[in-house]
Structure 1
Amino acid sequence: MKLAFSPCPNDTFIFHAWVHGLVEGAPVPEVTYADVDVTNTRALTGEFDVVKVSFAALPWLRDGYELLPCGGALGRGCGPLVLTRQPSSPEKLAGATVAVPGERTTAYLLFRLWSQGFAPANIRVVPFAEIMPGVASGRFDAGLVIHEARFTYQDHGLSMLEDLGDWWERETGHPIPLGAILARKGLDTDAIAGWIRASLAHAWANPLDSAAYVAEHAQELSADVTRQHIELYVNEFSADLGEAGRAAVETLLGRAASAGLVPG
């Protein structure tokens, strides 16, 4: 079974037990580690059996994949940030060069929904790791960041123009749907969801078991940032989307479709 997810601490924490053969009845998968912008694109080929993607990419993947009810990333207070070198305002983004981590990321979809009332910016898609250094050096006027950047952006001397998660929660009252776990159609999705939940349960019950694996893939994050990352992005929605999670996804994609930003 081919499994793909990011090297971020929340994903490696959740999938550690499954990847290491600690989930009874689950096949040990062949793992691909890739940032979500990469999996959003590669999932279009159908090469993965189970894959982590952005919720924003779902409209392009529904023919080949089913959404699983667990393993993803939703929550509150965990949304993407718009950063600048100096304190600024949304109006100043008109004509500015803004670096974003991917065209079909939830972060960029939230940015597009938020910025509909402003004059357009010049968008540059760049690898996530280049965004904060690029803003700090003046290569970009602003940057859209995700993941652990909310804990580290001040280390780069940057200012937060907008917390798009706070904006989303004020606008809708819903949690922020960031990352989804999909399974290729035709597979036993109930079984796969059970393996993911068992892997997550093992991680919560035995947090030290996954520590070395998480650190290995954490891209030089400090232990404290890694811990904060897991605590923020691995939560009750990781175990089950539930009605609240599904409502958040439907609201996000419904609004985006109405605005012509994604297929209906």
Structure 2
Amino acid sequence: MELSLGFSPCPNDTFIFDALIHNKIDCEGLQFHVEYHDVETLNAKAFRGDLDITKLSYHAFAYAVEDYELLDSGSALGFGVGPLLICKDEHLAKELAAFVGKAEMPEKFKSLRVGIPGKYTTANFLLGLAFPELSNKEIMVFSDIEKSLLDGSIDVGLIIHENRFTYMEKGLQKIVDLGDYWEKTTGSPIPLGGIVIKRTLPQEVKDKVNQLISESVQFGFENPKSGLEYIRSHAQEMDESVMYKHIELYVNKYSENLGDEGKKAIRQMFEKARELNLVPNTEKNLFLVK
């Protein structure tokens, strides 16, 4: 049986799926047709139901939950892994940082042009929690945000993935770590992205995929350099140390299995988003039914 599978070309995803798609583990007759896309494209594909299995942001999952359920394996959650809000001007960074979590801010900030990596990204959800009045947003590919700050086409940028490790080298300034803000507010790890599977697939297939992705993560942990060339071939930042910093940050015990703590964090995010009317309500169970 062949299943369509979508994930990003970022090092954390290629690390997670390397063993699965390169037959380093026994896939028990399943084959995978892989598509690589940025997170916002993956979110859009999930809304259309294009893929059997896909990575998406947890914010987007709220809009795809009728058709997909969340696997226990493959997720990106953790402490110290959240998106960063940055800018070019040190003075602006200090001024804006004083208003994190505040319901109101001075008028001069409300018109700031904010580059975001997608409307339905978890990053944008967290930005809405921390700065509800920063609403002049421009959607762009995440890898273009630093450049847009430097050339002045945006004033503030929301960065994710490996850009966390490169912005300082370019003279850009951190305003706030939105993951840190979430952690201090909730005490839970930040849910960034998960792997979902179509509800209509046979239960045994869903269970098998869930187990295989967990085994693929385990293989990566036990053989961390096994997929080096594959990971490098898709990475935006080619420096090996940057790639592995990225992997260490986003691939952890929650990637192997969400467990009770991971599921609690995801429920908290959904409850908070529903309280603020940021996502629709659903009666569907979020997690893979066993």
2:117 alignment partner, one of 91, 98, 101: 101
**2:186 aligned with 1:172:** yes
Give the gaps of 5 or more residues in structure 1: none
Conservation of the 8 A alpha-carbon contact between 1:20 and 1:28: no
The residue identity in structure 2 corresponding to 1:106 is T
Deviation at 1:221, TM superposition (A): 2.9
Give 1:244's aligned residue. 261
Conservation of the 8 A alpha-carbon contact between 2:6 and 2:54: yes
Deviation at 1:44, TM superposition (A): 1.6
- Three-state SS of the structure 1 residue aligned to 2:238 is coil
Inter-partner Cα distance in structure 2 for 1:121 and 1:249 = 25
Q: Kindly report which structure 2 residues correspond to 1:40-55, keeping only aligned pairs within 5 A, or say none.
A: 40-55=43-58
Deviation at 1:233, TM superposition (A): 0.5
Deviation at 1:26, TM superposition (A): 4.9
Deviation at 1:22, TM superposition (A): 2.0
The residue identity in structure 2 corresponding to 1:59 is A
How many residues are matched? 262
| Superposed CA offset, 1:61-100 (max 9, x none) | 1111110011010000010000010122224632100000
Give 1:9's aligned residue. 11
Root mean square deviation of aligned Cα: 1.2
Give 1:124's aligned residue. 138
| Superposed CA offset, 1:18-40 (max 9, x none) | 11122211523110000111100
Deviation at 1:241, TM superposition (A): 0.8
Conservation of the 8 A alpha-carbon contact between 2:52 and 2:197: yes
Q: Report the TM-score, using the length of structure 2 for normalisation.
A: 0.88
Q: Kindly report which structure 2 residues correspond to 1:147-226, keeping only aligned pairs within 5 A, or say none.
A: 147-187=161-201, 188-226=205-243
1:139 alignment partner, one of 150, 153, 159: 153
Inter-partner Cα distance in structure 1 for 2:59 and 2:150 = 28
Conservation of the 8 A alpha-carbon contact between 2:162 and 2:237: no
| Superposed CA offset, 1:44-67 (max 9, x none) | 221211100001111111111110
2:77 alignment partner, one of 74, 81, 99: 74
Q: Percent identity?
A: 40
**2:244 aligned with 1:230:** no
Q: Kindly report which structure 2 residues correspond to 1:76-91, keeping only aligned pairs within 5 A, or say none.
A: 76-87=79-90, 88=93, 89-90=95-96, 91=105
- Three-state SS of the structure 2 residue aligned to 1:178 is strand
The residue identity in structure 2 corresponding to 1:263 is P
Conservation of the 8 A alpha-carbon contact between 2:112 and 2:156: yes
- Three-state SS of the structure 2 residue aligned to 1:130 is helix
Inter-partner Cα distance in structure 2 for 1:93 and 1:69 = 40
- Three-state SS of the structure 2 residue aligned to 1:148 is helix
Gap change, CA 1:111 and 1:162, over 3 Å in 2: same
Inter-partner Cα distance in structure 1 for 2:15 and 2:134 = 38
Give the gaps of 5 or more residues in structure 2: 97-104, 282-290
Deviation at 1:211, TM superposition (A): 0.5
Conservation of the 8 A alpha-carbon contact between 1:59 and 1:262: yes
- Name segments (4+ residues, structure 1) moved above 6 Å: none
Q: Report the TM-score, using the length of structure 1 for normalisation.
A: 0.96
The residue identity in structure 1 corresponding to 2:236 is Q
Inter-partner Cα distance in structure 1 for 2:225 and 2:267 = 36
The residue identity in structure 2 corresponding to 1:256 is A
Q: Which has the higher mean CA deviation after the structures are superposed, 90-99 or 243-252?
A: 90-99
